[in-house]
Amino acid sequence: MPPVFRFAPSPNGYLHLGHALSAILNFDMAKAAGGRFLLRIEDIDATRCRPEYEEAIYEDLAWLGLSWEEPVRRQSQHLDAYRQARDRLDAMGLLFPAFESRGEIARLAGERAFWPLDPDGAPLYPGEGKMLPDEERRRRIAAGAPYALRIDMDKAIARAGALHWQESGRGPGGESGIVTADPRAWGDAVLARKEVPTSYHLSVVVDDTLQGVTHVVRGVDLFWSTSLHRLLQSLLGLPAPLYHHHRLVLDADGRKLSKSTAATALRALRQAGATPDAIRAMVGLG
């Protein structure tokens, strides 16, 4: 079976040089390995994703000289698959509804000294919702309260045991080879919400399996997400792909590029006369 690589952008802004590095690396590695290259549109966040950004992804990647298999998987069309995975975790007793807003969690965490943050910098869930009796949960849900479905991390870890992954790139601290997953760093992470039956973390593991992805090549900013992905794969009985996290493209101030910075958008560079070869050189793949 040929290896399967994927580039999985979210259409919530224009692609920039960091995306170019990731997309080209995936494409080149697939080619070198005689493998397949897939494009996946991660558009579950309906409030931030726009059709014009999706069109721009196809245009920018084609301009870079990349080609991918059709049809492209668009996550918004597969909510049922994610709902099934959510329901399986729920049936295992691993999910609970948490009714606090992000602001309330920040406030609760702020009241305690040295409250830990998750790898994305958000305060860990303080755990209040785990104490609510079932009856009270049902009452609030019936009353239409918004909620997030969180994973009970202690229960999940007890069930999954120790987890590892094979890393051929490098983590932020130089991690390489067999890396020990640390899902506890995410606390009781959000896996779904009242109005959306999934989250980035849940969709990505479901899709990587359904698409037969064997090699996940992505930016090092997602390195610690892999801990949570390995946990979900283990709980759902899904195979673990190989992982390769690559360096990020930084701006002149040494910061990670953002979709809101127009200057490093691929279309701005193209309009300014850059060629696909120049883009390769700019991301250090010359």
Contacting residues toward ligand GLU, per CB under 6 A:
8-10, 42, 204, 218, 222
Give the HSE-up count for residue 121: Cα atoms under 13 Å, Cβ half-sphere. 2
Q: Which is nearer to ligand GLU, 140 or 267 (CB)?
A: 267
The DSSP string of 148-180 is EEEE-HHHHHHHH---EEEESS--TT---EEEE
Question: 4 - beta bridge partners?
Answer: 36
Least Å from the CB of residue 208 to ligand GLU = 8
Question: 39 - beta bridge partners?
Answer: 7
Q: Which is nearer to ligand GLU, 98 or 151 (CB)?
A: 151
Least Å from the CB of residue 217 to ligand GLU = 8
Least Å from the CB of residue 115 to ligand GLU = 26
DSSP 3-state assignment of 217? strand
Q: Which is nearer to ligand GLU, 18 or 97 (CB)?
A: 18
Q: Which is nearer to ligand GLU, 12 or 176 (CB)?
A: 12
Least Å from the CB of residue 45 to ligand GLU = 10
Asked if 198 and 222 touch (Cβ cutoff 8 Å), the reply is: no
- Interatomic CA distance for residues 26 and 5, integer angstroms: 6
